[in-house]
Amino acid sequence: MHWPLVALIAAVSGTAHAQDNEIRWRVFDQGDAALLVIADTDDATDNLGLPVLSCKSKFGSVEIEGEAKENLRFAMADLIRADETPWIQVLPDTAAETTTIDVFFSFIDGWRYKFIIGDDHKSFDRFKREGVLEFKLGKAMVHEEFKVGLVNVTKFLELCKRPARN
């Protein structure tokens, strides 16, 4: 997944107003796809922080990918041994299992997770305000937080948003 992200960024020209060399959320709009990354420049780079959010423009869903730390990998292993589906609860919606999660290994990046939720999911309200995404798989709680450049979260979600039907 790392090389496609680099290719997407390399194809992008111009993004949201941000200071160069400041690590912050940055939006990359390729027309048919969008990417929200933690990076230090608006130029093509492979120096990206995690998590990474991506979407097909105007499709209405967002893919979230991050580092799968030990607690998440152990929770996934428990579900595999029990032959259960890896449903996660993306907070604040604790009443329902929201989506399934994939945990995979990359020789470039190590263990990663990936899941997809709608661009209108309640979790994005907190993400836009505080830079926090949280989800739960079994007993494992994952907390992702980065606050610099949050104005770009709204810009990214607008690119992902499905157009209203007439």
CB-based contacts of 45, cutoff 8 Å, min separation 6: 6, 9, 39
How many of the other CB atoms lie within 10 Å of CB of 32?
9
Q: How far apart are CA 155 and CA 45, in angstroms?
A: 21
User: In this predicted structure, what is the pLDDT of residue 44?
Assistant: 60
Distance (Å, rounded) from C-alpha 147 to C-alpha 101?
24
pLDDT digit string (tens) for the chain, length 166 residues = 443 444 444 444 334 344 568 999 999 999 999 999 999 988 766 678 899 999 999 999 999 999 999 999 999 999 999 999 999 999 997 776 679 999 999 998 899 999 999 999 999 999 999 999 999 999 999 999 999 999 999 999 999 999 887 6
User: How many whole angstroms separate alpha carbon 1 and alpha carbon 53?
Assistant: 12
Tokens standing for residue 116: 């997809």
Determine contact, residues 24/149, Cβ cutoff 8 Å: yes
Residue 4 confidence (pLDDT): 46
pLDDT of residue 65: 97
Amino acid occupying residue 122: K
Whose structure tokens read 């929200």? 36
Per-residue model confidence (pLDDT) at position 20:
67
Q: What is the pLDDT of residues 114-142, one digit of tens each?
A: 999 999 999 999 999 999 999 999 999 99
